[in-house]
Structure 1
Amino acid sequence: MTATSTLLKYEVKDLSLAPMGKQRIEWAGREMPVLRQIQDRFAQEKPFAGLRLIACCHVTTETAHLAIALKNGGADAILIASNPLSTQDDVAACLVADYGIPVFAIKGEDSETYSRHVQIALDHKPHIIIDDGSDVTAALIQERQHQIPDIIGTTEETTTGIVRLKAMFNDGVLTFPAMNVNDADTKHFFDNRYGTGQSTLDGIIRATNVLLAGKTAVVVGYGWCGKGTALRARGMGANVIVTEIDPIKAIEAVMDGFRVVPMSEAAPQGDLFITVTGNKHVIRQEHFDVMKDGAMVCNSGHFDIEIDLKSLAANSTEVKQVRNFTQQYILKSGKSIVVLGEGRLINLAAAEGHPSAVMDMSFANQALACEYLVKNKGKLAPGLHSIPVEVDKEIGRLKLEAMGIYIDTLTPEQIEYMNSWTSGT
């Protein structure tokens, strides 16, 4: 449904889904106490008053609370999807109908619609961009150079997006500050590891209803997302193989008890393949050729390029939809390969994404990163900036407090010792 008025423009699937969306948003909020405190403070202080902000994110129940926090803070904000299959249509409807937040996102939108929504976001003439994957930032730099002087900064919370921002800076085109939310300790230690680990397997099970116990699962990449995925797969009884290109991460996987082999060796052994690298074509035709009949492949990296689906399609005689979010490719040899979630983020395509308890910290980082950009307008150099350590620790403290967990503090004697070099053994 598309609507236009002097007050609100939006493009969502169906506004009648709003009541269900509101129920689910409220349920998610039960486990987001840190962001709720930030929402309340923003409502009092209005740090974004007079500023236009766009958020390109997965439109989920958890993201809804970030959007509400930004609006509470006085931002003139709009929300678009960061992935064609990650939108929860009832949430999008609720944000429009109940919170008056313009949303341009429909689950299953095609590439043309997705690109159009990016342009709509840039038409908003933002001062701040919240990006997932840096598509909006890239489009701004490539197509809207005249708008760059108005940009206070951008925030990014995906590994893929950080890689792109580093490349932009190295090419001399990132001429404004960008907050590296992804590398905050209260983000990647929890969101990437525990969130991705649980939600990825949730998506696989919802799409297939397969028993993981006894299966050989190949986790491609052992970054924080790969660590969480491998850990959870082993916990479900799978025999886990890890593939890596980084020797340090490979050693870590070995010492964590996983078998590490090249993809060429893993391909014939795996029953299930999960890519979490952020890179292109880590599973390609040479691997499909030697996979077992019926092997399943899926992706939990940000973009759908990790699996070479074009090559797979070109070497197939038929593609059949066998379940929701489950396609069977019949190869010319007669063997079949099963692709889950069209190669897009399986945890959002077939499931609901990360649990709200971890997104509480991730989106607290996003909200506070935006506030940091505003408070330091004109003071930050172009390029990537880390979340301040004191902000990171405060988010951790608030999370512990909300969980009813308290920790020790240093005594004056201990503080003196930690700041002295004269006292030894």
Structure 2
Amino acid sequence: MNYDIRDIALAERGRKRIRWAARHMPVLNQLREEFAAQQPFQGKRLAVSLHITTETAVLLSTLHAGGAEIALCASNPLSTFDDVCAALVEEGMQVYAINGEDLPTYRRHVEQVLDIDPHLVMDDGADLIVELHKRSSSGSVVAGIEETTTGVVRTRALASDKLLRFPVIAVNDTPTKHYFDNRFGTGQNTIDGILRATNTLLAGSTFVVAGYGWCGRGIAARARGMGARVIVCEINPTRALEAYFEGFQVLPMEEAAPLGDIFVTATGMKGVIRKEHILQMKDGALLANSGHFNVEIDVAALEQTAVQTQEIRDHLVEYQLPNGRNVYLLGQGRLVGQVAAEASPAALMDLSFAGQALSTYYLLCTEHRLPPGVHNVPAELDERVAQLKLKALGIRLDTLNADQLTYQASWQYGTAE
């Protein structure tokens, strides 16, 4: 059997929701038409590990329409939509993912996806890439694509240790990804996840954001927009200054811990919120993570410290501490916008996934071959994504005239006489 999903009978519901997402993804729709006509991926096998959402389905359908054979697993045990899996199976893809699957099942699904001997791996978090490098051979793989910050960090670590066997394009680092998906998408879906899991009021609360990268910027801005007082925790001095000059209070976590009502981590680092911080928190503090892996909040220490736990709502568990206070963990400490909400809006994922689709074309369908290492998306591909999106939105730009082009290319012009 070329799939392992919860229930194939969910396919119709999945198809309906995928169609809704596709309505808001005009760039991918245009690329799908091009790929369907040209069949550039005919005979190519893609191993994919992504959050299995309706938006992801639009990306994979785009590649599948171009002739790609696709095997898909989840990049997180809790971010899978079972109806989407069923719809993709009926479309002819191999899918190995079940929402809430345990870690042994998750790892088995990763191995099943790689069993197709792919030509390219498309990853979110680098689990496919790392698993390949644990094997003696990468088989037919000629290149990879990594979609998120944590995965790029892991892949760069492989390259730094001179172990990376093939080129990997860091889609996460391209402007049309981190300016929009990371900032606006993660900002919105994090708040959405918190509200769905807790139905709490953000206005008037003290909201602590750990990390002020593009995701942290977006979360902090959305929280402030909802009326929260925002504190930022950072280790990078430049980012800390940026947060300060943008009007946020900047404190180390040990000082923010007693002040916050809601805590969100978005760093890609382990142990950002630890036992010593949790014991200082107010009664009723909410803990959420927006980083890729469930290591930013020390969940093991929280479970060992608690004298009692109970599930209060979907994706919300109460932990009673020895000091008599209660804190609440959202989504098992996994990325809250994917677990408790529906990930980034389709209009934003249109940009990120168009970048992935064009990067796939670039890697598999041209004679150009990159050396092993982590590479940026070619600037012309990223610019094409932005241009297609602007066209779809009906937005026109100014253009330079001949005199301006001459001025731009000249060194002779200086202070006007």
Q: TM-score, normalised by structure 2?
A: 0.98
Alignment of 1:19-418 (within 5 A): 19-97=12-90, 99-142=91-134, 144-146=135-137, 148-376=138-366, 379-418=369-408
Corresponding letter in the other structure for 2:193: G
Point out where structure 1 has 5 or more consecutive residues left out of the alignment.
none
CA distance in 2, matches of 1:187, 1:39: 19
CA distance in 2, matches of 1:200, 1:222: 14
For these two proteins, the number of residue pairs brought into alignment is 415
Is residue 117–residue 139 contact of structure 2 (8 Å, CA) maintained in 1?
no
CA distance in 2, matches of 1:17, 1:160: 32
Deviation at 1:100, TM superposition (A): 1.5
Matched residue of 1:178: which SS?
strand
- Runs of 4+ in structure 1 over 2 Å off: 375-379
CA distance in 2, matches of 1:337, 1:117: 34
CA distance in 1, matches of 2:263, 2:382: 34
Corresponding letter in the other structure for 2:92: G
Deviation at 1:145, TM superposition (A): 2.4
For the aligned residues, what is the CA RMSD?
0.9
CA distance in 2, matches of 1:411, 1:70: 38
Is residue 50–residue 74 contact of structure 2 (8 Å, CA) maintained in 1?
yes
Is residue 178–residue 384 contact of structure 1 (8 Å, CA) maintained in 2?
yes
Is residue 42–residue 67 contact of structure 2 (8 Å, CA) maintained in 1?
yes
Is residue 222–residue 250 contact of structure 1 (8 Å, CA) maintained in 2?
yes
Is residue 67–residue 79 contact of structure 1 (8 Å, CA) maintained in 2?
no
Matched residue of 1:282: which SS?
coil
CA distance in 1, matches of 2:242, 2:40: 42
Matched residue of 1:150: which SS?
coil
Corresponding letter in the other structure for 2:97: A
Point out where structure 2 has 5 or more consecutive residues left out of the alignment.
none
CA distance in 2, matches of 1:256, 1:145: 49
Is residue 41–residue 365 contact of structure 2 (8 Å, CA) maintained in 1?
no
Is residue 183–residue 386 contact of structure 1 (8 Å, CA) maintained in 2?
yes
Deviation at 1:378, TM superposition (A): 6.3
